[in-house]
Amino acid sequence: MSAASQSKVLLVEDDDAIATVMIAALEDEGFSIEHCGSMAERDRWLQQQSFDVMLTDVMLEDGDGLSTLENVRSHAPEMPVIVLSAQNTLDTAVRASDNEVFEYFPKPFDLDEVVQAVRQASGARKAQPSETEHLPIEDDGMPLVGRSPAMQSVYRMITRVLRNDLTVLVTGESGTGKELVAEAIHQLGGRRSGPFVAVNTAAIPADLIESELFGHEKGAFTGAIAQAIGKFEQANGGTLFLDEIGDMPAEAQTRLLRALQSGRIRRVGGRQEIGIDVRIVAATNKDLVPMIAAGTFREDLYYRLNVVPIHLPPLRERREDIGVLSQHFLAQAADDGLPRRTLAQDAMHALETRNWRGNVRELRNVIYRLSLMARDDLIDAGNLQDILGNEALAPGGNQQDRDGGIGQALNQWLHEQSPAAGTVYSQALAAFEKPLIEHALSETNGNQLRAAKLLGINRNTLRKRIGELGIEPDRFSRTA
């Protein structure tokens, strides 16, 4: 008899195909399942019986299942709730987090992961609501747009840090939305009534950076004609967003590390230590790991900052978001007083296949330019070319760029091998496979199930290769 055999699960799902698959998978694990498709039936079940776990879809036959979780709580305050949702927006992820659900899975989900969550939930007591705080969700839309799987992972990570003050490191190319993520964490989290202070460490001259961050006393250096409060003190009670952290000079890195370790700062030229209460969100478009190896970024600072990593992939790797982002920016441009435009299908197709080196920022600029300059309200591919030039319709070449990069690295590696070795083929595969698996583990915080999913391989295969290649998966579980 399996450990799960005593556990009863209520499945609230109006899609019969999904329900059938879920029931089969959970019954295989020894759970006993009751299934219904509406909130009314759900509430009836909960009145009659107690369940160990409830799995629920959001959009049900008779309405929005998330908005009525109060009813569920009144019947079964301790029962963990797992949400499955096809509404893959930041709003749904945040509402799920607001309702303190045990786990939230955007559809399509990995059945194994859901079953694993049910197993964990059935063994876990529901966490006591820390503060009975209810985060207000603004109705006029979330700041971040996009429903690609990559953005859903971002939303899930955001919701995980809303109820704590863990330090977050946001990585991604320029223009991918790192600052917007920092703002979302601030606005949706418990510090929203405090200040949000952003500082771009790359834009400040090296000799002024400490004074900018920590402030200075009058006369601390030439030009310090009055006392000044630094960004840390300005952000007290709120969030400090440290942008372009990879460009911070060495001396400032050391001072920043000290401040983060002690929770105290000292103004330049000052004697007194001042306690600070800030949540740090740092961001960089640089790969900090090689910088650590090169000695240009402090390793201890990296681990201080990289408590919760959130990675924003470039727009060319989530092209499915381009449509919804374009619509979002067309509406935003109209709100900003520009004419309201529509994109014809051929224009949209051209945008979807374009090489967006400047990422979402570039897309936003292009949409604003189109809104301003188009002659007609409907913009087609021809108008697009007239306004943006030939480059507008040049499809993205990044896959090729990347392939070229891998090819070059491989060539260099092959030249370095001894021709007599006779094992070049297996060595080359291992040389390629190890960093690939390590990358997947690092992206998923050491979660082998997710890493296998990311790589598109079976998790047993992954586990086997981890052993064979001598990878230490624990090295990648950095989230506190």
Ligand X SMILES: Nc1ncnc2c1ncn2[C@@H]1O[C@H](COP(=O)(O)OP(=O)(O)OP(=O)(O)O)[C@@H](O)[C@H]1O
Residues forming contacts to ligand X in the complex (CB under 6 A) are 144-146, 172, 174-180, 243, 285, 325, 328, 360-361, 364
Q: Which is nearer to ligand X, 151 or 441 (CB)?
A: 151
Residue nearest to ligand X (CB): 177
Nearest to 308 by CA among 182, 201, 456: 182
Q: State the DSSP code for 284.
A: E
Shortest distance in whole angstroms from residue 361 CB to ligand X:
4
Shortest distance in whole angstroms from residue 425 CB to ligand X:
40
Q: Which is nearer to ligand X, 51 or 241 (CB)?
A: 241
Shortest distance in whole angstroms from residue 159 CB to ligand X:
15
Q: Give the whole-angstrom CA distance, residue 212 versus residue 199.
A: 9
Shortest distance in whole angstroms from residue 215 CB to ligand X:
24
Q: Give the whole-angstrom CA distance, residue 297 versus residue 247.
A: 9
Q: Which is nearer to ligand X, 174 or 400 (CB)?
A: 174
Shortest distance in whole angstroms from residue 202 CB to ligand X:
9
Strands 53-57 and 215-216, bridge-based pairing: unpaired
Q: Which is nearer to ligand X, 320 or 376 (CB)?
A: 320
Shortest distance in whole angstroms from residue 151 CB to ligand X:
6
List own/partner pairs for 247-255 with CB under 8 A and 24 or more apart.
247/201, 247/202, 247/284, 247/286, 248/201, 248/209, 249/206, 249/209, 250/296, 250/298, 251/206, 251/210, 252/201, 252/206, 252/209, 252/210, 252/213, 253/297, 253/298, 253/301, 254/298, 255/210, 255/213, 255/214
Q: Which is nearer to ligand X, 7 or 239 (CB)?
A: 239
Nearest to 75 by CA among 155, 133, 10, 158: 10
Q: Which is nearer to ligand X, 361 or 439 (CB)?
A: 361
